[in-house]
Structure 1
Amino acid sequence: MAAGVAAPEPWSAVAPRKKTKSSARRRPRRDERRARGPQAEPEADGEAVLRRLREAEEDLRNSDFCSSALETVTQCLGKQLGQLQGLTEALGRLALSSSLGPEEPLATSTSPVTCVCYGLGNFATSVTARSQLAFMLLFLERCQIPRSHCQVYDPVFSRAEVAVLASLGLTVLSENEEGKRSIQGQPTVFYMPHCGTALYNNLLWSNWSVDALSRVVIIGNSLQCIEERLLTKILHKNYPYIAKIVKSLEEFPLPQTPRYTDTFNDTSVHWFPLLKLQGLPGDLWASREEPDYQDCEDLEIIRKQTG
């Protein structure tokens, strides 16, 4: 996969709570979130953006939300890593999440875990997007995942934002993957705040096996709420991989606080217990038709440009 800091090509875009499809709160579309008055600011130069990002990171670090949210991430990642065979030596002093203290890191800097982030938005001008980026930097630090092991992509990134991300030590992807990233055996955290449903479906399709999904953690829209919000026939027709797997994952919501309601609403950490995956019928894994969304309305992503 080509990586660099060239301007990217476009695509756009709780213990679990039970609710009826008709009463489920609709997740705002990406253009609606960007249009909200106080969230939008004039774009500043790189130094000003970095200063605002540091301020957002410090605000998050000192919040009650942060300690609880980071604990949720480390617990899920600890469970996911703990179930994998053959990683003990590579992880060194991996501590199971149940024994982690509030400030104790999950693993050493030699951790093989990588991170892929889709859909941050314009963090130079959006308070919400900046807080989401700041939280990613904090959980990378908390789990001791090197920033060099984190790749980011959003078609709306400006050249200045690409430069800021590179200066932070992150790798900016130059190609639209449409979420179709195969982890190729690498334990991976996907950070996808408020992305379109098709992106999650594509990600699941790209890793549609017991071995791959057992190595995946997704921080993003609640998949259980997606299931509850959509009509069953729409979910199975347009997003079949979400429909097939949603009952066989474990989902833990990030805490909700008034200060970060717009930033992390409907956001959960998902991981895939190996025993649950192994208990699914074999023919479920044999069906691997690539999603095409030909008749899907309200897709919320821009497709990869071809030709």
Structure 2
Amino acid sequence: MTSGGARRDVRGAMAAAAAAAEPWQAAGPRRKRRPAARCRRAREPAAGSLEAEPETDSRVVLRRIREAEEDLLLSDFWSLALETINGCLTEHLEQLKTPRGTLSKALGNLHLDPSPEASDAAPGSLPGEPLVPGTCHLKCVCYGLGNFATCVIARNQLAFLLLFLEKCQIPRRHCCVYDPLFSQLEIAVLDGLGVTVLRENEEGRRSVGGEPTVFYMPHCGAALYNNLLWGNWSADALSKLLVVGNSFRGLEERLLARVLQKNYPYIAKVLQGLEERGLPQTPRYTDVFNDTSVHWFPARKLQQLPADTWAFREEPDYRDCEDLEIIRSRTRGPPAAGLPAP
């Protein structure tokens, strides 16, 4: 090799090294961008999502979760997301107020500091002004976090959940969490954080049982949302749901109408009965919360749907569904709290 060629090779190697060291800049969000793939243990580490080092012990994972919470609290995304969720949650709860006006009164008297008893916060949690008071008796169910011990995206989504519980004064023991991908280490960490880890794969078929419930389902497959709707297929039950997850409108845009109606009929049928508001997009958390919206189902809209909407109650069947993004249960039973009456 000539000396000139050697110099060119050296310069090329130096340029490649410099490019690798250059900090990556996130591109602006696209309106119809598909949700980021969930982190799975079986996948190879990908830049910006999985960490090179293996799972260690719970203390390390807890430290990383606390750091993710602290970073999220200081971000523009968190403050903007709170505004969005607070507006949606207020409208959602207003329609559920009792004749005595309990919820209406509660929404007008936000506490500045949640009491330790009300928030049931675990050691190391961060204080803050609550969104809604504990008197609203909200519950929370989280599906599909993925492997937060090794995945940065999943860990940021968990940090968001923990801060959300604190802001809403939802006791952590009233938050049920499940993902079939959880490792034993991750289950132990979640137990230590005080949330309730479900032991069976419900495939999302959990009924609210008459209680206002927030379902936090970041980047889940369409079948999981479809199952959730089926498990609560009545105007009364749906009016008590608030879903934070992939945009239903986005699903409608990405899927052919016949595919949506055949494979995910409950999503297709409820589109005219929901309100949806997208979470804000900021460069730092683009891959964490892209295509994520807050959905709720106003009773007035549900009551305006055709009467035969509620007559259709067939259990979802995905045998002919391509690209099914759900891990099926080996022994499936009835939904957690039974189907609501139509």
What TM-score, normalized by structure 1, do the two folds share?
Answer: 0.87
**Whole-Å Cα distance in 1 between the matches of residues 60 and 102 of structure 2?**
39
> Residue deviations 1:224-262, cap 9 Å, x none?
000010000000000000001112211111110110011
Amino acid at match of 1:243: A
Which of the numbers 258, 262, 284 marks the counterpart of 1:237? 262
Amino acid at match of 1:217: L
Gaps of 5+ in 1: 1-16
Aligned residue in 2 for 1:200: 225
Aligned residue in 2 for 1:14: none
Amino acid at match of 1:176: N
Contact 1:204/1:241, CA 8 A, preserved across alignment: yes
**Whole-Å Cα distance in 2 between the matches of residues 87 and 289 of structure 1?**
34
Q: Does the C-alpha gap of structure 1 residues 87 and 181 become closer, same or farther in structure 2, counting only changes over 3 Å?
A: farther
**Whole-Å Cα distance in 2 between the matches of residues 87 and 113 of structure 1?**
18
Aligned residue in 2 for 1:61: 73
Aligned residue in 2 for 1:38: 48
How many residues align structurally? 285
Contact 2:111/2:133, CA 8 A, preserved across alignment: no
Which of the numbers 4, 20, 25 marks the counterpart of 2:33? 25
Amino acid at match of 1:188: T
Identity of aligned residues (%): 63
Q: In structure 2, the residue corresponding to 1:110 is in which secondary structure?
A: helix
**Whole-Å Cα distance in 2 between the matches of residues 18 and 211 of structure 1?**
35
Contact 2:36/2:290, CA 8 A, preserved across alignment: no
**Whole-Å Cα distance in 2 between the matches of residues 18 and 67 of structure 1?**
21
Q: Does the C-alpha gap of structure 1 residues 48 and 31 become closer, same or farther in structure 2, counting only changes over 3 Å?
A: closer
Larger displacement relative to structure 2 (123-132 or 241-250): 241-250
Aligned residue in 2 for 1:278: 303
**Whole-Å Cα distance in 1 between the matches of residues 147 and 58 of structure 2?**
13
Q: Does the C-alpha gap of structure 1 residues 178 and 88 become closer, same or farther in structure 2, counting only changes over 3 Å?
A: farther
What is the root-mean-square deviation of aligned Cα atoms in Å? 2.4
Contact 2:216/2:245, CA 8 A, preserved across alignment: yes
Aligned residue in 1 for 2:142: 117
Q: Does the C-alpha gap of structure 1 residues 142 and 118 become closer, same or farther in structure 2, counting only changes over 3 Å?
A: same
Contact 1:73/1:139, CA 8 A, preserved across alignment: no
> Residue deviations 1:61-100, cap 9 Å, x none?
0111001112211221111111014276654842269x99
**Whole-Å Cα distance in 2 between the matches of residues 88 and 172 of structure 1?**
35
Alignment of 1:1-307 (within 5 A): 24-30=32-38, 35=44, 36-41=46-51, 42-86=54-98, 91=103, 93-95=105-107, 104-306=129-331
Amino acid at match of 1:264: F
**Whole-Å Cα distance in 1 between the matches of residues 83 and 75 of structure 2?**
13
Q: In structure 2, the residue corresponding to 1:107 is in which secondary structure?
A: coil
Q: Does the C-alpha gap of structure 1 residues 82 and 32 become closer, same or farther in structure 2, counting only changes over 3 Å?
A: same
Higher relative CO (CA 8 A, sep ≥ 6), structure 1 or 2? Answer: 1
**Whole-Å Cα distance in 1 between the matches of residues 285 and 35 of structure 2?**
15
Contact 1:90/1:112, CA 8 A, preserved across alignment: no
Shift of 1:37: 2.6
Contact 1:72/1:254, CA 8 A, preserved across alignment: yes
Q: In structure 2, the residue corresponding to 1:105 is in which secondary structure?
A: coil
Q: Does the C-alpha gap of structure 1 residues 133 and 88 become closer, same or farther in structure 2, counting only changes over 3 Å?
A: farther
**Whole-Å Cα distance in 2 between the matches of residues 92 and 235 of structure 1?**
37
**Whole-Å Cα distance in 2 between the matches of residues 184 and 109 of structure 1?**
19
Shift of 1:110: 3.4
Amino acid at match of 1:259: R
Q: Does the C-alpha gap of structure 1 residues 87 and 265 become closer, same or farther in structure 2, counting only changes over 3 Å?
A: farther
Gaps of 5+ in 2: 1-28, 113-127, 333-342
